[in-house]
Amino acid sequence: MSRQSLTKAHAKISELTWEPTFATPATRFGTDYTFEKAPKKDPLKQIMRSYFPMEEEKDNRVYGAMDGAIRGNMFRQVQQRWLEWQKLFLSIIPFPEISAARAMPMAIDAVPNPEIHNGLAVQMIDEVRHSTIQMNLKKLYMNNYIDPAGFDMTEKAFANNYAGTIGRQFGEGFITGDAITAANIYLTVVAETAFTNTLFVAMPDEAAANGDYLLPTVFHSVQSDESRHISNGYSILLMALADERNRPLLERDMRYAWWNNHCVVDAAIGTFIEYGTKDRRKDRESYAEMWRRWIYDDYYRSYLLPLEKYGLTIPHDLVEEAWNRIVNKDYVHRVAQFFATGWPVNYWRIDTMTDTDFEWFEEKYPGWYSKFGAWWENYNRLAYPGNNKPIAFEDVGYNYPHRCWTCMVPCLIREDTVCEKVDGQWKTYCSETCHWTDAVAFRAEYEGRETPNMGRLTGFREWETLHHDKDLADIVEDLGYVRDDGKTLIGQPHLHLDDPKKMWTLDDVRGIQFMSPNVLLNQMSDDEREKHIAEYRLNDMSKIA
């Protein structure tokens, strides 16, 4: 269809809307934003007559590549180190995708502008596409990769795992609370516009370098839809900026959304890219370098900064602090170390690190070896059962961390840990911003203004609480992370499938008591707690190892 025809067709389609006079549509999902002065603009101009054939063609390419991968024995050259992390990633990502679909009516409800409703509804269908095409990719991995354990229980594992819950924010955050906070600022303006670059472009590049060209095939196809979604988000953002009353809420939501996306996405994708790869070419971009290009330059400098002249208060300090956490505070490395510490309660295997890996990390992150080298050498030393417990329960100078109540990634940059009594419970936060998110932003009042539509942090937010004072073997069994012989764990701290003696079983982890840091924290006296937190802030083993 020519551009002229498309413009004419779109103009005709826009005649389908009307102003209701008999009844007002139900407001199922409220917002504290106002759109009375909103300009009208549909950035998408998508019509279904061109949309369906376009997506079918994209599908044909994806499924053709999948057939080709099977015929070409792609799995003969896939790195297990890489594909194991996909058990975690692909268990998480279909839920954020389907949540994005579910978020669209919230945006439609909130924005009284029929011009944009069509584009949002098309995005809804895109998101269902993304969710199901990713589930299908995972199924292909399960069927064709050497070790299907973990893929085979994927959605159950996602729903009961500590890391799955971290990822679940990147989904529940789209569909809950203030409709604009959730469906526009958190989902579209920040998650889709900024962080899908690392999720769907940077990470698939790394997959290809590890012999897996199906992840790029599927996720680049997904990403080609994202550009349209970014236009939806931008349009609503401009509408919100047109009303001065929205400015404080926009400032609040940009701070929350930016920081939470950083905490969650950089933790996960940074770990996959840095610790899931076997490609240790020195000129291969590190995650920090990718982040600088995709997030700092492409998003922050090219997208966010120009919005300042429209009155958007940009969280410059948080952008800089996120960068600081990645390059100076070793955020990604500490997260990877934590995931590896928790291997018995994972549903994927985590490879040991070699001298080649050490050299690469030292090249990219000078000083890495002095901070993390000894710990990973201990990880290698303690990889097999028989003479030792899992590394989390051996004395390697690493204290199991407190969890951040807000982002649910543990408080790994220990010196930044905040401990406060909020809503009657002592809670720990990874940063001042995460504390602010819980104590200030997600409340029914913000800066003296009523914000009844803002969401709340709910649920059993500390995963460890559910398993406090239980035997580790019982926990693993309850979670279902056991292979079909009824005893061998799915998670293993190495990749050796060829020797049964190297595979950890329930018997190897029985007799180890698992304790919740938050439960213990709340059992302490004030003095004990103060002392404990002071020591925790100092107990940065990456500096003392």
Partner 1 sequence: MADITDQKERSFPKIEFTDSEAGALTFPSSKSRSYNYYKPAKLRATMYEDVTVDVQPDPERHLTQGWIYGFGDGPGGYPQEWTTAKSSNWHAFLDPNEEWEQSIYRNNSAVVHQVELCLKNAKRARVYDSWNGPWLKFIERNVGAWMHAENGLALHVFTSIQRSGPTNMINTAVAFNAAHKMRFAQDLALFNLDLAEADVAFEGSAHKEVWQEAPEWQPTREVVEQLTAVGDWCELLFATNIVFEQLIGSLFRTELVMQVAARNSDYITPTLVGTGENDYDRDLGYTRVLFRLLTQDEEHGAANKELFGSWLAKWVPRCQEAAHALQPIWSQAAEKPVTFATSRANATAKFVSLLEDLGLDIPKELDQ
Q: Which stretch binds partner 1 (CB under 8 A): 113-121, 377-385, 468-476, 507-515?
A: 113-121
Q: Does 285 bind partner 1 (CB under 8 A)?
A: no
The Cβ-side half-sphere exposure at 387, using a 13 Å CA radius, reads 4
Min dist CB 103 to partner 1, Å, is 7
Q: Does 25 bind partner 1 (CB under 8 A)?
A: yes
Q: Which stretch binds partner 1 (CB under 8 A): 264-272, 386-394, 468-476, 482-490?
A: 482-490
Q: With contact defined as beta carbons under 8 Å apart, do 147 and 154 qualify?
A: no
Q: Does 543 bind partner 1 (CB under 8 A)?
A: no
Q: Which stretch binds partner 1 (CB under 8 A): 12-20, 358-366, 507-515, 535-543?
A: 12-20
Residue from 33, 89, 95, 343 touching partner 1 (CB under 8 A): that is 95
SS3 call for 153:
coil
Min dist CB 524 to partner 1, Å, is 24
CA angle 96, 142, 284 (to 5 degrees): 70
Q: With contact defined as beta carbons under 8 Å apart, do 98 and 69 qualify?
A: no
Residues 175-194 vs partner 1: string with x where CB under 8 A? xxxx----------------
Min dist CB 401 to partner 1, Å, is 18
Residues 6+ apart with CB under 8 A from 11: none
Q: Does 135 bind partner 1 (CB under 8 A)?
A: yes
Residue from 242, 466, 520, 541 touching partner 1 (CB under 8 A): that is 466
CB nearer partner 1, residue 319 or residue 472: 472
- Cα(215)–Cα(233) distance, rounded to whole angstroms? 26
Q: Which of residues 361-400 bind partner 1 (CB under 8 A)?
A: none
Q: For residue 473, count CB atoms less than 10 angstroms from its CB and return exposed for 0-12, middle for 13-18, buried for 19 or more.
A: buried
Q: With contact defined as beta carbons under 8 Å apart, do 427 and 406 qualify?
A: no
Q: Does 468 bind partner 1 (CB under 8 A)?
A: no
Cα dihedral 163/169/171/175 (nearest 10)? 150
Q: Does 257 bind partner 1 (CB under 8 A)?
A: no
- Per-position DSSP letters for 158-217, written without gaps between them: HHH-HHHHHHHHHHHHHHSSSHHIIIIIIIIIIIIIIIHHIIIIIHHHHHHHTT--HHHH
Residue from 2, 3, 4, 21 touching partner 1 (CB under 8 A): that is 21
Q: Which of residues 517-536 bind partner 1 (CB under 8 A)?
A: none
Count of residues that interact with partner 1, criterion CB under 8 A: 122
Q: Does 147 bind partner 1 (CB under 8 A)?
A: yes
Residue from 88, 90, 100, 142 touching partner 1 (CB under 8 A): that is 142
Q: Does 24 bind partner 1 (CB under 8 A)?
A: yes
Residue from 44, 65, 88, 104 touching partner 1 (CB under 8 A): that is 104
In angstroms, the Cα distances linking 146 to 84, 157, 173, 262, 277 are: 10, 19, 35, 33, 18
Min dist CB 544 to partner 1, Å, is 33
CB nearer partner 1, residue 168 or residue 402: 168
**Both tokens assigned to 185:** 């600022």
In the DSSP assignment, the letter for residue 299 is: I
Residues 6+ apart with CB under 8 A from 269: 195, 198, 199, 202, 203, 287
Q: What are the φ and ψ backbone dihedral angles of 513, each rounded to 5 degrees? A: -90, 135
Q: Which of residues 289-348 bind partner 1 (CB under 8 A)?
A: none
Q: With contact defined as beta carbons under 8 Å apart, do 439 and 420 qualify?
A: yes
Q: Which of residues 203-242 bind partner 1 (CB under 8 A)?
A: 208-211
Residues 53-72 vs partner 1: string with x where CB under 8 A? x-xx--x---x---------
CB nearer partner 1, residue 408 or residue 472: 408
Q: Which of residues 433-462 bind partner 1 (CB under 8 A)?
A: 444, 451-461
Q: Which stretch binds partner 1 (CB under 8 A): 76-84, 232-240, 354-362, 521-529?
A: 76-84
